[in-house]
Amino acid sequence: MTKSIRTVLSILVVFLFSVIVIADQYKDHTDAAGEINSAINLAKADGKNIMLMFGADWCPWCRLIAKYINENETVKAYISENYHIVKVDVGKFDKNLEIIEKYNVKRDAGVPSLVVLNSRGEFLVFQETGSLEEGKGYSEEKVLRFLKKYRFVK
């Protein structure tokens, strides 16, 4: 096999793997309403709040915040201890419209956007994520400040 064919195949494998990983972020087939109800039931039992992550697979910042939350050990541990997370696929703001309306997601803020619910499933706050950014990523300090601010609000 020539070097150029190997290079093309390597790039193709990396691309396909990236597509598979990206496609897993905000699944089109996810039953967001059902997942929210499940999270509310869990939260009623354990007292954790709920964080809804509104986003879409086409959105690079949506993929970035999902990756950040999964890879930043401090943020990941804090969320695991204090929140249930539900990802809500908004498509091009043509999916899960009833959930977008119910939780006052501001379309002009774009995605990703966060909504925090208390352990009874009641709306606490909408948060655009631009203010949590730092450079080409997210600020651990800003993200933790946001999470801590609403953790104990019931």
pLDDT digit string (tens) for 116-137?
A: 999 999 999 999 999 999 999 9
The CATH T-level fold of domain 3-151 is Glutaredoxin (3.40.30)
Confidence band, pLDDT 50/70/90 cuts, at residue 27: low
Q: Enter the tokens of residue 24.
A: 């897993």
Contact status, residue 148 vs residue 129, Cβ threshold 8 Å: no
Considering only CA atoms, give the Rg of the chain: 17
The pTM score is 0.81
Q: What pLDDT score was predicted for residue 114?
A: 96
50: which strand partners?
Answer: 84, 117
pLDDT at 23 over 80: no
